């Protein structure tokens, strides 16, 4: 049985939210350019766009849709999908699950060898993150080893 373990909002977080956010910034920049207002607001918008792109590039663009099967993870970037055997998983790290609840928790799956999406698969598990960690742990234990770790 295959179960999606990443958040149902992954597509929105990865594509829609950054597109709207950047479009608003570009609109503000365009208005400043048309009126030739190269004051503090112009430079603030440029800085805002640069920081936004950095945050999105590090935190949201690497997100993947991940499904857990009996013997493999099905990983998708919404264009391509690849099967990764559970035996290829080196480590699973739960990040952002500390008392800082304002951060969005994520799970980083580190692989033994490179896949189509690299050696690190990032996903946002949503509000049911404890179930996701338990499901990953049970699937790996069925294969004979355990590696679930974490940091806050």
| Tens of pLDDT, residues 60-99 | 899 999 998 888 899 999 999 999 998 888 888 888 765 5
Residue 137, pLDDT above cutoff 90: no
Determine phi and psi for 128, rounding to 5 degrees. Answer: -100, 40
pLDDT at 19: 93
The answer to whether the beta carbons of residues 121 and 108 sit under 8 Å apart is yes
pLDDT at 101: 52
CATH of the domain at 95: 2.30.29.30
User: How many folded domains does the chain comprise?
Assistant: 1
DSSP of 51-106: HHHHHHHHHTTTB-EEEE-SSEEEEE-SS-EEEEEGGGEEEEEEES-SS-TTSPPE
Say how far residue 113 (Cα) sits from the centre of its chain: 20
Section 19-32 average pLDDT: 90
Highest-confidence range of 34-38, 74-78, 137-141, 144-148, by mean pLDDT?
Answer: 74-78
Residue 144, pLDDT above cutoff 70: no
pLDDT at 66: 93
HSE-CB of 126 using CA atoms within 13 angstroms: 15
CA distance 92 to 150: 8
Which 3 state secondary structure label does DSSP give 109?
A: strand
Residue 149, pLDDT above cutoff 70: no
pLDDT at 152: 37
Residue 106 lies in domain: 1-152
pLDDT at 94: 81
């Amino acid at each position: 049985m295959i179960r999606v373990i990443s958040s149902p909002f992954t597509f929105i977080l990865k594509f829609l939210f950054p597109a709207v956010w950047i479009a608003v910034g570009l609109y503000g920049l365009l208005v400043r350019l048309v009126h030739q207002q190269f004051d503090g607001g112009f430079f603030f918008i440029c800085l805002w766009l640069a920081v936004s792109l950095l945050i999105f590039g590090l935190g949201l663009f690497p997100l993947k849709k991940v499904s857990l099967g009996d013997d493999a993870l099905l990983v998708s970037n919404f264009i391509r999908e690849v099967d990764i055997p559970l035996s290829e998983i080196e480590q699973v790290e739960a990040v952002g699950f500390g008392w800082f609840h304002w951060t969005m928790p994520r799970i980083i799956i580190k692989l033994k060898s490179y896949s189509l999406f690299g050696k690190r698969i990032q996903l946002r598990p949503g509000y049911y993150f404890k179930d996701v960690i338990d499901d990953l742990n049970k699937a790996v234990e069925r294969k004979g080893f355990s590696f679930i770790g974490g940091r806050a």
